[in-house]
């Protein structure tokens, strides 16, 4: 499937619906993200310790991913994604109206339950539509579309800052996420993987599980504490955070599609090697740098490199047995969130005890361990046809 012009009208329509859903979700979630840290810092007085607790609470639903996937295994991924986005939107809208930290935790956990399942579906749907061909390119294209939406959202947020109240931003974000869910409802059965298993743990996928676990460590350290360090430690105002996120989104937009094609061309092992080596350097920079501008550059570098992180998913897609992609992605989500639940609280404690640099030293270690595991990817076993037939 080298081009959308070579597929049937129904499949082409499914791609367009998915692209619209990805765009709308990314626009809404970016609108939420650009104001969230300033909102909880200015209005609710959230401390580093509470920030860690909030992030851990938000990631707890990720542990339920494999159980939720088992419960909804008989439904097409697009329908699951649609319902999840619409319920997530309700929680995002409610965020702007919470009165204290406990209410914030409750609302965040609510929308997180559904959004984590969307993250699993959003990887499975394009791989199903691609029918196993050029997975990196298609995931990269979805990443580019999401980045384009993020650029638009950050630009709009920059214009609306000072004119929109915080609750208005969250309601606007929710409206776009809900619309993304509506786009998924008309998708055809092309978007579904057939004969999905409900629960799955295979020893032959253990390298994938290990990489996703460590990716949870890496992702949570940066997503929880990188921007929070700029806001809490250096008092960076909302206008500058919006500009930083806009620059980051533009860079991601430019890199996402080429990164996906690069993964298909050089293979997952080389792509992951580049990814984790530079990530380790980025964490090291955050651990030793005390100037705001270099920290902003490192934040953009980390997010650009995330485009190469889809190589973990394309690696699974290459070795997975028929019908096992969605449950394997869900198990990966669960493994990812074992780390994601523990890391924010641990990072908050490290920050409180040793200063804001401490969580990033832990990130250096996680990136280096991932780099070592990555060297085994080239030796992963492809499932023999006879074994597939027995499954």
What's the pLDDT at 1?
Answer: 42
Q: For 156, list phi and psi in degrees, rounded to 5.
A: -65, -40
Taking a C-beta distance cutoff of 8 angstroms, is the pair 198, 73 a contact?
A: yes
> Which residues on adjacent β-strands are paired with residue 164?
161
Region of 18 please: left (phi>0), alpha (psi -120 to 50) or beta: alpha
Give the number of other CB atoms < 10 A from CB of residue 163.
7
Alpha-carbon span 102 to 110, nearest angstrom: 13
What's the pLDDT at 155?
Answer: 79
Alpha-carbon span 82 to 1, nearest angstrom: 25
Q: What is the 3-state secondary structure (H, E, C) of 306-327?
A: HHHHHHHHHHHHHHCCCCCHHH
Taking a C-beta distance cutoff of 8 angstroms, is the pair 220, 339 a contact?
A: yes
What's the pLDDT at 379?
Answer: 47
**Positive or negative, the Cα torsion across 37, 40, 45, 47?**
negative
Taking a C-beta distance cutoff of 8 angstroms, is the pair 68, 196 a contact?
A: no
Cα dihedral value 148, 151, 154, 157, nearest 10:
-80
> Which residues on adjacent β-strands are paired with residue 161?
164
The topology (CATH level 3) of 7-390 is Growth Hormone; Chain: A; (1.20.1250)
Q: Which two tokens stand for residue 111?
A: 């929308």
Taking a C-beta distance cutoff of 8 angstroms, is the pair 151, 253 a contact?
A: yes
CA distances from 242 to 35, 59, 238, 295, 298 (A): 8, 24, 6, 15, 16
Q: For 315, list phi and psi in degrees, rounded to 5.
A: -60, -45
**Structure letter (DSSP) for residue 161:** B
Domain boundaries, the chain: 7-390
327 CB-side CA count, 13 A: 20
CA angle centred on 335, ends 214 and 285, rounded to 5°? 20
What's the pLDDT at 74?
Answer: 58
Q: What is the 3-state secondary structure (H, E, C) of 15-26?
A: HHHHHHHHHHHH
What's the pLDDT at 95?
Answer: 94
Alpha-carbon span 133 to 141, nearest angstrom: 14
pLDDT tens for the chain, residues 1 to 391 = 444 445 578 888 888 999 999 999 999 998 998 888 888 888 888 877 787 788 778 877 766 655 565 555 556 778 888 999 999 999 999 999 998 899 999 999 999 888 888 887 777 788 777 766 666 677 778 888 888 898 888 778 778 877 788 899 999 999 999 999 999 988 886 555 554 555 567 788 888 888 988 888 888 788 778 888 888 778 887 778 778 877 877 888 888 788 888 888 888 899 999 999 999 998 998 888 878 888 888 888 888 887 888 888 888 888 877 767 777 777 777 777 777 677 777 887 888 888 888 888 988 999 999 999 999 886 444 443 333 333 3
Alpha-carbon span 249 to 252, nearest angstrom: 5
The SS3 assignment for 164 reads: strand
């Amino acid at each position: 499937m080298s081009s959308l012009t070579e597929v049937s009208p129904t499949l082409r329509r499914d791609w367009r619906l998915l692209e619209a859903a990805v765009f709308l979700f990314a626009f809404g979630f970016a609108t939420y993200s650009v104001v969230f840290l300033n909102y909880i810092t200015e209005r609710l007085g959230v401390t580093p310790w509470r920030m860690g607790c909030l992030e851990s609470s938000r990631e707890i639903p990720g542990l339920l991913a494999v159980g939720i996937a088992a419960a909804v295994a008989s439904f097409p991924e697009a329908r699951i994604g649609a319902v999840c986005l619409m319920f997530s939107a309700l929680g995002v809208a409610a965020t702007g109206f919470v009165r204290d930290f406990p209410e914030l935790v409750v609302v965040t956990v609510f929308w997180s339950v559904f959004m984590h399942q969307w993250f699993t579906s959003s990887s499975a749907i394009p791989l199903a539509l691609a029918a196993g061909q050029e997975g990196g390119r298609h995931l990269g294209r979805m990443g580019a579309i999401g980045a384009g939406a993020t650029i638009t959202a950050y630009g709009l947020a920059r214009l609306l800052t000072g004119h929109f109240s915080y609750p208005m931003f969250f309601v606007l974000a929710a409206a776009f996420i809900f619309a993304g869910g509506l786009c998924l409802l008309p998708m055809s059965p092309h978007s579904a993987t057939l004969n999905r298993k409900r629960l799955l743990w295979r020893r032959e996928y253990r390298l994938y599980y290990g990489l996703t676990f460590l990716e949870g460590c890496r992702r949570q350290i940066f997503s929880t504490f990188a921007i929070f360090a700029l806001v809490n430690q250096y008092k960076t105002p909302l206008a500058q955070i919006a500009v930083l996120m806009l620059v980051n989104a533009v860079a991601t937009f430019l890199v996402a599609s080429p990164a996906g094609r690069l993964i298909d061309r050089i293979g997952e092992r080389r792509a992951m090697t580049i990814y984790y080596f530079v990530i380790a350097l980025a964490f090291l920079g955050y651990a030793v740098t005390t100037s705001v501008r270099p920290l902003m550059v490192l934040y953009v570098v980390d997010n650009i490199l995330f485009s190469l992180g889809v190589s973990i998913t394309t690696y699974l897609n290459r070795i997975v047995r028929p019908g096992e992609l969605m449950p394997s992605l869900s198990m990966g989500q669960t493994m990812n969130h074992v780390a994601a639940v523990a890391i924010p609280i641990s990072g908050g404690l490290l920050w409180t005890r040793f200063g804001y640099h401490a969580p990033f030293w832990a990130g250096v270690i996680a990136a280096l361990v991932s780099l070592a595991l990555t060297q085994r990817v080239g030796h992963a076993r492809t499932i023999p046809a006879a074994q597939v037939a027995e499954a």
